[in-house]
Every structure is written in structure tokens, then in C-alpha cells.
Copies of this chain bind each other. A is one copy, B any other.
Amino acid sequence: MTDADDTARHNAKMAKKKAARDKIMATKTDEKGLIIVHTGKGKGKSSAAFGMIFRCIAHGMPCAVVQFIKGGMSTGERDLILSTFSDKCAFHTMGEGFTWETQDKDRDIEMAQAAWEKAKELIRDPANKMVLLDEINIALRYDYLNLEDVLTFLADEKPEMTHVVLTGRNAKEPLIEAADLVTEMELVKHPFRAGIKAQIGVEY
């Protein structure tokens, strides 16, 4: 087979792929506000969610972030939103470090409840096109928040076109059931196992 044959065959294959893809995409016509979940033990849950917030900022869509646990999103990302995009994206940090760092259950519950009240306020405001509830799954896992309350609110009060993004490992099954878009970040290999510490730019 000549190189020209090979190229022609490749191009024909790609043309077929494109036609198939165009046909599938033409059937996707609806728009709606999505419930989006990023879970799993791997990295990137908060960063990928933040990527969507960043897209909204780029497109001039008002959006908001509530951090349920400080430390989910890196301080670098947080500082940059606060310093550069605070007019485009409301940002609220309610948690005070990971739960195993605070060791005060009552305060953790109080913080989580306050964060949830703020989240409801931001989601109810139809001006916000996307609301990121960063690390809310941690608060749900420890029952600092009631899962039923969260699901009922999202079903009954979320404006139809608003996207709500919920992150954190160990997403509960009923939340996954209720969600439209779920991604699990799976840890395949991590440098901590080779004795490498958390590094600036990578982990924070």
C-alpha cells in the first residue's frame, strides 16, 4: 500500500467519523440547567469545576462559588478570582479547613449550614447562571447537611436554566441519581506514594 493510499483511507475514515458525530449531535437540541457532580478520589474535581466557572466568566455569565470546606480549591485559584474577577463571580468561603483539621463538630455543622443558606440564596437568584458548591459532598458525607433537604431544594427551587456543580469525593448515590452529568476522578498514580510532597502550582 502506498502512502497516498494510506492517507486516502485515513481521510475516508475521518470523514465517516465526522458524519456519524454530526448526525448524533444534531439530535441533541435541548438546553437546561444541569446538576453536575465531580467525585472520586483523584485530583481535579474542584479544578475542573472551576474551569466551568472560568468559562462562565469568559462568556460574561454571572456565576458564584460557595466553598463548603476551605482547601478544596487551591488558594491560588481562589485568590485569583477574588483579585481579578470578583465583579463577575461571587465567592464565599464558609468552611475553615478540612474537617480533620478543625476537630470541632458543632462548629463544622454551623459552618456547613451557613454555607448552605448562602448557596440557596445564590441559586435562587436567576441572574446566576452557574453556582459551584465546592466540597459540599464532604459536608453531606458527615451529615453536616441533610441530603434530602439539598435534593428537594434542587428539584423544587433551582431555576430551570441554572447550572449547579457539586464537588467532593464520596458523592452519595441519591445525588448521583439526581444529577445530569457525573464525572468520577479516579486516582491512578500519585507522587505522595514516592515520597514527593505537595508542591506549589500542582497541589496549591
Contact = CB atoms under 8 A, between A and B. Distances in A.
A30 interface: yes
Contact of A192 (B6, B14, B28, B36): B28
Contacts of A198: 25, 28
A101 B45 CA distance: 29
Interface stretch (A52-60, A114-122, A146-154): A52-60
Contacts of A160: none
Contacts of A102: 14
Interface in A137-160: none
A11 B109 CA distance: 13
Interface residues of A, number: 84
Interface string A26-66: 01111110101110101111111111101111110101000
Given A52-B201, A195-B28, A196-B32, A185 B185 contact: yes
Nearest to A51: B47
Nearest to A75: B58
B58 A79 contact: yes
Contacts of A55: 74, 76-77, 200-202, 204
Contact of A183 (B42, B163, B192): B42
Given A11-B103, A11-B105, A47-B51, 19 more contacts: A14-B99, A14-B103, A15-B103, A28-B192, A29-B195, A32-B191, A42-B183, A44-B51, A44-B183, A48-B48, A51-B51, A54-B76, A55-B76, A57-B80, A58-B75, A59-B201, A163-B201, A182-B188, A183-B185
22 contacts: A7-B105, A11-B103, A11-B104, A14-B99, A14-B100, A29-B197, A38-B44, A42-B184, A43-B181, A43-B183, A44-B45, A44-B185, A45-B48, A47-B54, A51-B74, A55-B77, A55-B204, A57-B76, A163-B201, A179-B189, A180-B196, A183-B186
